[in-house]
Structure formats: structure tokens, C-alpha cells
Amino acid sequence: MIATASESDFITRRLDLWAERGQRRVEARKKAGPIRELHLELTHRCDQRCVMCHHWGIPARSPASVKREMTLADIRRVVSGSGLLGELEVVVLTGGEPWLRPDLADIAGFLSDSFPRARVGVLTNLSDPRRVRAGLLRLRARGVRGLWLGTSLDGLAGTHDRVRGRQGAFGALLAGVAMVRGEFPDVPVSCNFTITPLNYRELWDAHLLAQELGVWFGAQLVVNHRGLDGPEPFRWTKPQLDAVRASIDRIVLDLCRREGAMRRLLDGRQADSAGLWARLYYWRLLHRYSLRPRRFVADCLAGERYAMLDPEGNLFFCPVNKHRKAGDVRERGLDAVWKGAEAESERRFIRSGRCHCCLLCIMNPILEPLFKEGAAP
């Protein structure tokens, strides 16, 4: 069944109802949960120069920052000394470019052994397919389980190169995706598009390219990090955001068509399609967020679900509030920092609703449970 705009509108209205019902059901039995995700920024170093990123400029300004990176021994000590990570579901290794750490396989192997039920993700720019291939072979030999890769698709050809600050970045990305898909078919690849005034015109084309490549595709609006700005802080105009919303609407319609969303409703399979509803609803929220940035879910789970560590071992709770540190886990241990006064102060700030975002890393773990509850009878 080919979806039409009216069918897409009907589906999105149904999603609003399910999200509201799911929120009520989740809140009715909510209790504080354990840490589910451990995100480790292993380095500020990077071989690309993205216009929205602060990481790559830090080693240039402060070469000694490399010596301040958490070592494998630091990570072993922090993880082994914690009693709060026993129900971990996801480990994310990022940077900078994490493949620039020669001990990445040892770090990933240790974490995979420590948390055998957790999926392990590496967020990489895929700038050097040979380096990635060698790294994946080491991870395979090390026995890392549940491995997946996340990367960035920020436009086509010259636009991607412009955003990533490197000529040839787009060609390397395509070669890297093809290599992983061909040689490591058990390793899923996802692509994220950071929407900026430089590349917003190519959001739709990037979506189509991701479909052609056979990889998952998502997007989020660029974040101007307070105190951690990239080299080009961005300001939007109304016509630019209107064009972004038009592309989002096309993507929602296309996903409804490709995934047979209307047929799933007609066949009574809505309760079995929570992942699809969450994905569609995220795009819907991104559209709304571009109209008026605000928080859409009262409890965003930051400060509860996620433990995020910068390369120097400082705990923070979400990318938007990365400048708000809770403490150094190398000095005090993860559990002491997690339970400390600074961390509780950050949780109060988050609960106050004074911050907001529409980021995939924060929204996806919230939305799928909502639709599992909300779409159920």
C-alpha cells in the first residue's frame, strides 16, 4: 500500500494518542532505574575538522590534553570499582575519533567481557576504511559481542566534505560503509545527519542515499554547546527551518510507505511495531522542535539512564549539558561521583525542565517503551 500525505497525517495523529497513553502508563509505575548506558569519550583527537565540533581543536590548543586521556588502566579501575553498572545494556565508545586510540580493541574487549549482555557501539567518522577494517578484525579476534557502528552522513559529496572539514571525506565514508557491509555483515551501521544551515537542503537526499546504502538513518538539529562551541556557531533563518520541516515531512511519508505503516494499522499489528512508531514519532518531534525548541518528555532519563565520561574522566549526563560536570571518576570513583552532591544538583536541574533537546541518543530509549505501552490494547 502506497502511503499518501493524508494517511501520513492520520498515522501521526494516532502516534500522538499512543504517546500520551504510553506516557501515562509508564509514569504510573515509574521507579528510579539503574544505569543502562555507559558512554566513554576516549579522546579529543580527530582527523576531521567538523564545523560544529569542539573536540578536534582541543589537542591543537593544548597538546598535553592527550596525556590527560583515561588510560585502559583507568577504565579498568573505574569500571571494576563500581557497583552501579551491573544492568548495563549499551556501551558506546566515541571521541573525537576512537580508532585513533591504539588500545581501542583492548578497551572494548574489557568492557564486553565485563558486561556480556551489553551491546558495544563505536562512533566513528569512517575516514580511513583500512584502519576501521583492521580495528574490526581486532575486535572480532578479541571476542567483542553485539558490536555496531555509528557514523555521520552530513550531506552529499562537497557538502559532506565542507561540514567534515576534509576533502574526500564523503568518498571515504561511502568506501567505509561498503567495506563494513561487505566484510562484516553482522555489524549494523547507522548514519546520523547533523542539520545545519550549511547542509539542510540535502537532508532528503541523504535519507535516500542511506536507503540505497542499506543503513539506518536519523537526524538532529545542530547543538551550539555552551562553552564548547565548534568553530562555526550557527543561526537559523525562518526560510531555512521551513525547508527543514518540509524535508522531515517527506521523510515521514517515505518511511510510512516503505515500512507499510498504514497496512500495519489495518492488520491490527500496531502493538508489534513499537520500533517503527518510535522512529516516526522522533521525526515528528524534530519537526515540532524546529518550530519551538522545548522539552517534549517530562522525564528525559538523563542523570538516571546514562553515565557519560569525557576523555579526562569527568562525569556528565547528556550532550547538551556537557559543560555541567558532576565530578572526576578517576579521583573519586564512579559510584561516589554518581551519588555525590554535584550529581544530585545536576539531576535537580534536569528535573526542573530548564533544559531541552531533541537528540537521538536521549529520545530513542524513551520513545520505544512509550509506544510499547501506548500502542498495546
- Local structure of 261: helix, strand or coil: helix
pTM (2 decimals)? 0.94
Cell numbers that stand for 6 in this block: 493524508
- Give the span between the Cα atoms of 127 and 50, in whole angstroms: 12
* Predicted pLDDT of residue 37: 96
Res 368: pLDDT: 86
pLDDT single digits (tens) 23-59: 887 776 556 679 999 999 999 999 999 999 989 999 9
All residues at 6 or more sequence positions from 317 whose CB lies less than 8 Å from its CB, including other chains: 302, 303, 306, 308, 324, 326, 343, 346, 347, 350
Residue ranges, the chain, pLDDT below 70: 1-3, 28-32, 227-230
**The predicted structure's pLDDT at residue 229:** 64
pLDDT of residue 28: 61
Q: Which residue has the cell 520513545?
A: 367
Q: Return the C-alpha torsion angle 177, 198, 317, 374, nearest 10.
A: -80
**pLDDT for residue 294:** 93
pLDDT digits (tens, 9 = 90+) for 178-237: 999 999 999 999 999 999 999 999 999 999 999 999 999 999 999 877 766 667 779 999
CA distance 101 to 119: 20
Structural domains present in the chain = 1-31+236-303+348-377 (no CATH), 34-234 (3.20.20.70)
Q: Count CB atoms within 10 A of the CB of residue 95.
A: 25
What's the confidence (pLDDT) of residue 370? 85
Q: What is the pLDDT of residue 339?
A: 97
CA–CA dist 26, 24 (Å, integer): 6
CA end-to-end distance (rounded Å), the chain: 24
Residue 194 burial (CB count, 10 A): 20
Residue 7: predicted pLDDT: 82
pLDDT value for 157: 95
Q: Is the Cα dihedral 328, 334, 338, 339 positive or negative?
A: negative
Task: Give the integer Cα–Cα distance in Å for 145 and 341.
Answer: 36
- Mapped onto helix, strand or coil, the DSSP state of residue 168 is coil
Q: Greatest CA span in the chain, whole angstroms?
A: 61
State the pLDDT at residue 224: 79
CA distance 107 to 121: 12
Instruction: Give yes or no for a contact between 38 and 90, defined as CB atoms under 8 angstroms apart.
Output: yes
DSSP 258: H
Closest CA to 192 of 215, 161, 165, 162: 215
Q: Burial code of 233-242, b = ≥16 C-beta within 10 A, e = fewer? A: ebeeeeebbe
Between strands 327-328 and 314-316, the pairing is antiparallel
